[in-house]
A and B are shown apart, each in its own frame.
Chain A
Amino acid sequence: MEVELLEIRQHMGRFPPFDGISDDLLDAVAGEVEVAYYKAGTDILLLDREIHELGYIRSGAVEVYRRNGDLYNRLGEGDIFGHFSLLRNHRVRFPARALEDTLIYFIPEALFQRLCEEDEHFADFVELERPRLESAVEQHKKQNDMMITRVRKLLTRYPVMVEATTSVQEAARLVGDFGASAVLVLDEPGDNPRYTFRDSEERAWQVRGILTDSDFRRLVAQGRGPETPVGEIVGDRLVAIQSDESVHEAMLTMLRNNIHHLPVMHRRHPVGIVHLSDIIRYETHSSLYLVSNIFNQSTTEGLAKLAPDVRAAFVRMVEDGADSRMIGSALSTIGRSFTRRLLELAEEALGPPPVAYCFMAMGSMARNEQSIVTDQDNALVLADDFDPDRHDDYFLEMARIVSDGLHACGYTYCTGDIMATNSRWRQPLSVWKGYFRDWIANPTPERLLHSSIFFDLDVVHGENRFVEQLQDLVAEQAPQSPRFLAAMGRNALNRTPPLGFFRTFVMEKDGKHNNSINLKRRGTAPLTDLIRVHALACGSRAQNSFERLDDIDRTQLLAPGVSDKLRYALEFLAMARIRHQVIDLQHERSPDNNIEPENVSDAERHTLKDAFQVLSNAQKFLKFRYPMPAAGRPRPG
């Protein structure tokens, strides 16, 4: 390198996308730049003029505008502009003006093309939105793939299987002979094609269930005879997992369902059974030990002492390269375990519940997207034979134990009072159905403002079917009510993303500066909100945002490619938030949802801006897709 160009070269080499290009290319760039000075307030690029070069800001600041004159971006030292137009029709799409006295290095088009051809990283960077977001997320995923162990790796033998007519004694003997601890019960093909397969003799079977050591013990305890057919005692709810799922997912499935044996299927074919101990042997994630530790605690105080372990497990998952779905899922599982254990402790203290109940979670826990900074959102759905006078004392006390316990464990009280301790949210199923029907049939943005959280709901403990019925009701009625969707859509626009970053500030769309940004309020939450609206519109029963997007993909709601953009944006924003929480924890600060621009690397800054752009575009589409029906029109029946 000629020493005289070091000045230019060193400067460019510090900023993306030039920080990643080879020395030869960087030399070529430094030697070919054309320099121009612009006084503050003068135009650099005029709309629709021809453009044949890329601009690089050596010093000063530049504002970039949309065609309609809105501010599109504010750029500072080391930022580039003009690439969108260069990649398209060589007409200036976003005019640029010097905000301060500014020195620009221009890179001639021929060199720009060469950079795009010879350097993939550079090409990704200058492409608009999706590719950079995508490559940032995919790169993380690639690193992550290496650490994923598929559950089939844990299998050592085929499962022991018996027909439903086999006697319990025979089944027990087989289990003993094979040194197994569980047996799968097969039956004639029936109502569940998911578990129906053909054996080597082309005979069709359906896996009906699983019998484990503890089932045999229960049988003996109940005094039932050894000749009882296994079909009579096997449960009819089978939880299984596909063989290519991760060990991590298998572990979470077990914990979520509170089971120790998990049948593994290759498509519909049973290929083995994993036991919790197999996973413990294999999986070293401390989140697992944490969960089992939760269930070993016998007091609220004991549970509260585990709060630091939750943080440690969280940091470790991030360091291990887990993605936001794994982390959200694990933290939700931990949160559910605390809740469930508290409910068990409450039942121990208060005696058995007078009527059936279902404790449900709302919000991030229901979506399996919980973060380390979270409050509690929960409610109680009671059986319809609930009598407030006779039963409510019990459930209020139960709700108090759980809510206070969760608060002690770091899940702070809900500021909106969405907790089972609030009598409004401690009601029989029929009342709950009424709430949902009313929200959907008589919606206004104001009424729904504090209710949208109820449209993420899931079971934590108790009678699953109560909550399933509520989920069904929402999935059936929401798509029929344009007014409801419009009101939800309107509320999903209350929180908007910023424009991006400028130096050490967050840039708002009106050009104002802020010192930090709440990445939940301005990023993940509005994105989750708008995904929820689309999911409600297409009748999805999924609660997790990524699963909702899968359901949305099966419809024509979004233009092709849009849902992928949303996925990448959500993953990137969620991970950015998580990474900054880890930074907080590592500096022994209490983690929050804020990120400070000075802690954002240049690469992250650009990708974040892309993600904000995706969110902003998706919000615009939402407004257009779910318009508020004209007032005074009769409500659809």
Chain B
Amino acid sequence: MLVLPPRRRQVPTWPEYLADRATRVQHPLLEGYFAAGCPAPDTPIGEVPLVAMDMETTGLDPRRHAIVSIGLVPFSLARIRLADRHYWVVRPPRPLNRQSVTLHRITHAEVEHAPDLEAILPALFEALAGRLVVVHYRQIERPFLDSAVQARLGEGLRFPVIDTMSLEARRHRQSVLARLRRWMGRPPVSIRLHNSRERYGLPPYQGHHALVDALATAELLQAQIAAHYSPDTPVGELWS
């Protein structure tokens, strides 16, 4: 397939950013997280410890909506270790509306007895430290976590992510073939998690559960690297 070379854009130098934050950050939890750092951009993806993350939220706007659950699955290109998984349900500061209840299948009762996000932050940062986060659609997890941590600890955070949806978009939205399809009036190829997985022969999973989606994302990245990249691909070509 024809692929345009990745557009040159100003990629933030993530190791520098993290090292800088580590020296200036106030809260010890965040300090520990930043100090763990991240790999150099030329590190082969096959050697990078990864963690797939997925969140269910009450909506799409980090300023108005809140996190309901978080799923984490640590993995590497070789293996996804389910035994080390994490899953938390947290109580949002604002009550759930009906739509998000049906979407996530998390009930009011579950949420009512759940802790505030602050209570799980130590465990969350421990699981994230030293691992590169992998998400499907980066506009959710990073901004929501930034906003929620900002509200609780007084300081926000940013971190590099590999976005499996962006990787799909590179092939199916930005390629010459994709442009040709668009020009011919064909609907664009779906790059949603479920449809992306289908293209790699991955089984359908019940979506909209943070841990299942995190697992599904981890599998998708393994498939994408196997199909289009290699374990030697520098991580800097993949993260954003």
Contact surface of A with B, Cβ cutoff 8 Å: 2-8, 11, 30-39, 42, 58-60, 100-103, 106
Contacts and interface: CB of A to CB of B under 8 A. Distances in A.
A32 B219 contact: no
B103 interface: no
B201 A7 contact: no
Contacts of B78: 36
B206 interface: yes
Given A37-B226, A101-B223, A7 B79 contact: no
B228 to A, nearest CB: 10
Contacts of B81: 34
B209 interface: yes
Contact of B226 (A7, A30, A38): A38
Interface string B73-110: 00100111111010100000000000000000000000
Interface of B is mostly: mixed
Contacts of B153: none
B206 A7 contact: yes
Contacts of A37: 200, 202, 219, 222-223, 226
A36 B222 contact: yes
Contacts of A102: 201
A144 B87 CA distance: 51
A35 B215 contact: yes
A511 to B, nearest CB: 20
Given A37-B226, A101-B223, A31 B82 contact: yes
A39 B215 contact: no
B180 interface: no
A43 B226 CA distance: 12
B71 interface: yes
Contact of A35 (B71, B82, B200, B212): B82
Contacts of B218: 35
Contacts of B212: 4, 7
Interface string B183-216: 0000000000000000011110110011110010
Given A7-B206, A39-B223, 10 more contacts: A5-B82, A32-B82, A34-B81, A35-B82, A35-B219, A35-B222, A37-B202, A42-B226, A103-B202, A106-B79
Nearest to B224: A37
A33 B84 CA distance: 10
B201 A60 contact: yes
Interface residues of B, number: 27
Contacts of B223: 37, 39, 101
Nearest to B220: A37
Given A4-B71, A103-B219, A34 B203 contact: no
Contact of A34 (B80, B201, B202): B80
A4 B87 contact: yes
B103 to A, nearest CB: 15
A4 B226 contact: no
Contacts of A106: 79
28 contacts: A3-B209, A4-B71, A6-B206, A11-B203, A30-B82, A32-B82, A32-B83, A33-B82, A34-B80, A34-B82, A34-B83, A35-B75, A35-B80, A35-B215, A35-B218, A35-B222, A36-B78, A36-B80, A37-B219, A38-B226, A100-B201, A101-B201, A101-B223, A101-B227, A102-B201, A103-B201, A103-B203, A106-B79
A33 B80 CA distance: 8
Contacts of A60: 201
A31 B79 contact: no
A100 B227 CA distance: 12
Output the residue of A8, A35, A100, A102 with the most chain B CB within 10 A.
A35
Nearest to B210: A4
Contacts of B203: 11, 58-59, 103
A403 B165 CA distance: 75
Nearest to A100: B201
A284 B78 CA distance: 63
A60 B82 CA distance: 20
Contacts of B85: 4
Contacts of A38: 226
Contacts of B211: 4
Interface string B53-86: 0000000000000000001000100111111010
Contacts of A8: 82
Contacts of B215: 35
A117 B135 CA distance: 39
Contacts of B75: 35
Contacts of A32: 82-83
